[in-house]
Amino acid sequence: MATKLTRPVRRTTQVIVERRRPLVVTLYPRGTIGVRASRLRTEYELPLDVVYELAVRAHVARRRVEAGARRRAR
């Protein structure tokens, strides 16, 4: 079973974004995820259900592109 999220968990990633700064990701117990560039104040928050929906859409779009490439290669 997964651990319950009771306080914000913040992690610095190896993904480089704006002005060559690492991306900082924060998981909030209220069901949102925040992202910001390291050492910058502006944080962008999204509900986790929206993040899930965006991930599913990106996956489906990628699979469609791959299927089209396979069809064209025949």
Q: Is pLDDT above 90 for 55? A: yes
* Distances from the Cα of 3 to the Cα of 24, 29, 39, 45, angstroms: 21, 11, 29, 22
The pTM (predicted TM-score) of the whole model is: 0.82
Q: Is pLDDT above 90 for 1? A: no
pLDDT single digits (tens) 2-47: 899 999 999 999 999 999 999 999 999 999 999 999 999 999 999 9
Cβ-count burial 4-17 (b if 16+ within 10 Å, e if not): eeeeeeeeeeeeee
* Per-residue pLDDT, 32: 98
Q: Predicted confidence band at 74 (pLDDT cuts at 50, 70, 90)?
A: confident
